[in-house]
Structure 1
Amino acid sequence: MSTHFIGEGNIGSAPEYREFPNGNDEPRRLLRLNVYFDNPIPKKDGEYEDRGGFWAPVELWHRDAERWQSLYQKGMRVLVEGRTVRDEWEDADENERVTFKIEARRVGILPYRIEAVTLGTRPAGSQ
């Protein structure tokens, strides 16, 4: 089961990068982000109250995932578009567990909490 997902939240920990062998082809690359998707409700005093936020693992499969590992940082505000996927597994005590993860199509960086942006040149042949 999966459904379309769009959400805005904060990265809660350093990104995790992994590579998986893919036969003779280029390895599959995964960047995993742990994101807290909040639900800010404005209060009368101008402040916001979070009601009903949740943590979700966000998986971004892309050939440039290794380069992006240093781009995404803890505390950064991101906009995630993708799909939610039900993930069934067993814990150490052999209890069946169900969680939901987000398989991202896009993870956009929002300008909140960013102090500076440095642009570099791309290596020849990259898109």
Structure 2
Amino acid sequence: MSTHFYGEGNIGSAPEYRAFNNGNDEPRRLLRLNVYFDNPIPAKEGFEDRGGFWAPVELWHRDAEHWQTLYQKGMRVLVEGRTVRDEWEDAEENERVTFKIEARRVGILPYRIEQVTLVPREPSAESPADE
């Protein structure tokens, strides 16, 4: 079961990168983010958070290794994807259920960013250089 998800939140810890063997093909790459999706409500002085939640965000992409240095703790992001029910057993063999977000896109929002530096990307063997 899954449901479309679209939310804005803050990355709560350093991103976690993993690569999984895929036979003779290129490995599958995963970037995991722990994101707090808040629910800011206007208050007399600024905003008040009502009903936010933490969710693991999984981003499967060939550039995930590069992105692990791009995304940082505290960064504000916009996540689009789907929620997925994840069933597992804890150390005491109790059944647990959590919901994770399988992201299609994770956009960086300009809050709390002091500087952005763009560097030209070197052409890879997979994509020929523009001529």
TM-score range for the pair, normalised by the shorter chain length: over 0.9
Percent of aligned pairs with the same amino acid: 86
State the SS of the aligned residue for 1:94. coil
Paired AA for residue 43 in structure 1: A
Paired AA for residue 41 in structure 2: I
Separation of aligned partners in 1, 2:10 and 2:85: 22
Structure 1 position 119 matched with structure 2 position 118: yes
* Aligned-residue offset at 1:13: 0.2
Structure 1: which 5+ residue stretches go unaligned?
A: none
* Aligned-residue offset at 1:124: 1.0
Summarize the alignment of residues 2-41 of structure 1 with structure 2, pairs less than 5 Å apart.
2-41=2-41
Summarize the alignment of residues 84-103 of structure 1 with structure 2, pairs less than 5 Å apart.
84-103=83-102
Separation of aligned partners in 2, 1:41 and 1:68: 31
Count of aligned positions: 126
Show the counterpart of 1:63: 62
Q: Let me know the Cα RMSD of the aligned residues.
A: 0.9
Structure 2: which 5+ residue stretches go unaligned?
A: none
* Aligned-residue offset at 1:44: 2.3
* Aligned-residue offset at 1:123: 1.2
Separation of aligned partners in 2, 1:51 and 1:112: 20
Q: TM-score, normalised by structure 2?
A: 0.94
Show the counterpart of 2:75: 76
* 1:27-85 C-alpha deviation (Å, 9 max, x unpaired): 0000000000000000123x111000000000000000000000000000000000000
